[in-house]
Structure 1
């Protein structure tokens, strides 16, 4: 082809690039106006992930719901998508006997999540009140564990799961 200019091709190329930029991006409004799973399906997935995480903890701990399962608005979605979507969040307190090996919880979860292909999004294991949060790269669901040292010998441990932004009924609300 050489250096010969072909204005028609340049216009066509620009049109293709512009179209891909508007529809092919996961951050654009057009891409996120697509159907998603429903909030009920997101709640089921969050619960599944939290139960799988609980199964990786040292034996002896129990889960106790902490707060209500809830949907929260994606008012300021980090993905740049449209308003009207929500995310689902569930929290559990991990209760355990005093001799429960809490020091094994975070390393064990980190290994489990790594084997499952999760991406670490917040690793504060070196702090006095450690936290570790991960996200599944294929579906955007997140799980975290937060540990709070209270009085000497007293620990509060929480498992938190959340979904990516979804449409409540799986499709955008009619405008």
Structure 2
């Protein structure tokens, strides 16, 4: 069992990644919080890791973006992701403005998607982390 970043560090990155990515756009959209999860259980981890870890996520509406600029905004985010060591996991363009990426550095995932009404949402999700950065002691073990 490996050490991870802490839950607080994960929360900080889940906020910073969307803010930095949106700030790279011209003009930068206004972020409006859509959802925030500070400590969701990794009860079915895709990495087959141990229980007791959590993941965090943030999702924001990108406001003040004219719908006719959605494709341009998505392309700008792809450029930012590429420059910051993210790789594309799924890309539904040109059928839909929906892209999912993952950081090669820390395992965070991000995505941009367009609703049927043309609104864009941008999100970031951490990998599973130990709340304090270290594996929890096994029940009954001495501390």
TM category (shorter chain) comes to 0.7 to 0.9
Match of 1:57 in 2: 25
Given the two structures, how large is their TM-score scaled by the length of structure 1? 0.72
Which of 108, 112, 128 matches 1:145? 112
Greater strand share, 1 or 2? 2
What is the match of residue 103 of structure 2? 136
Q: Deviations over 1:61-86 (max 9, x none)?
A: 21011123432111111111111111
- What is the distance in 2 between the residues matched to 1:73 and 1:81? 12
Q: Which has the higher contact order (CA 8 A, sep 6+)?
A: 2
Please state if 1:89 is matched with 2:89.
Answer: no
Matches within 5 A, 1:14-163: 33-59=1-27, 61-96=29-64, 98=66, 101-128=69-96, 130-150=97-117, 155-163=118-126
1:160 is displaced (CA, Å) by 0.4
With 57-66 and 78-87 compared, the bigger mean Cα shift is at 57-66
**Shift in CA distance, 34/141, structure 1 to aligned 2, threshold 3 Å:** same
Give the drift of 1:99: 6.5
Scaled by the length of structure 2, the TM-score of the pair is 0.87
Cα distance change, pair 61–90 in 1 and its aligned pair in 2 (3 A): same
Match of 1:10 in 2: none
Tell me which residue corresponds to 1:25.
Answer: none
Contact kept in structure 1, 2:23 and 2:29, CA below 8 Å: no
CA contact (8 A) 2:57 2:123 kept: yes
SS in 1 for 2:115: strand
> CA offset at residue 87 of structure 1?
0.7
Does the CA-based 8 Å contact 1:64-1:95 persist in structure 2? yes
| Aligned partners of 1:61 and 1:100 also within 8 Å | no
In structure 1, the gaps of 5 or more residues are 1-32
